[in-house]
Amino acid sequence: QSSELFPANKQNVEHFSTYFTEAGLKELSDFLRTQQSLGTRKELQKELQERLSQQCPIREIVVYVKEEMKKNDLQEHAVIGLLWSCLMNAVEWNKKEELVTEQALKHLKHYAPLLAVFSTQGQSELVLLLKIQEYCYDNIHFMKSFSKIVVLFYKADVLSEEAILKWYKDAHAAKGKSVFLEQMKKFVEWLHNAEEESESEGEDD
Domain assignments of the chain as residue spans, ordered by start:
75-204
Q: What is the pLDDT of residue 73?
A: 84
Q: pLDDT band for position 182 (50/70/90)?
A: very high
Q: What is the pLDDT of residue 196?
A: 78
SS3 at position 176: coil
Summarize pLDDT for 38-95 with one digit per residue, the tens: 777 888 999 999 999 999 999 999 999 999 999 988 889 989 999 999 999 999 999 8
Torsion sign over Cα 131, 134, 138, 141: positive
Structure pTM?
Answer: 0.80
Q: What is the pLDDT of residue 205?
A: 53
Q: What is the pLDDT of residue 195?
A: 76
In the predicted structure, residue 1 carries a pLDDT above the cut 50: no
Helix-strand-coil split of the chain, %, nearest 5? 80, 0, 20
Cβ neighbours for 21, distance < 8 A, ≥ 6 positions apart: 29
Architecture of domain 75-204: Alpha Horseshoe (1.25)
Do residues 104 and 145 lie in contact, with contact meaning Cβ atoms separated by under 8 Å? yes
Distance CA(16)–CA(18), nearest Å, equals 6
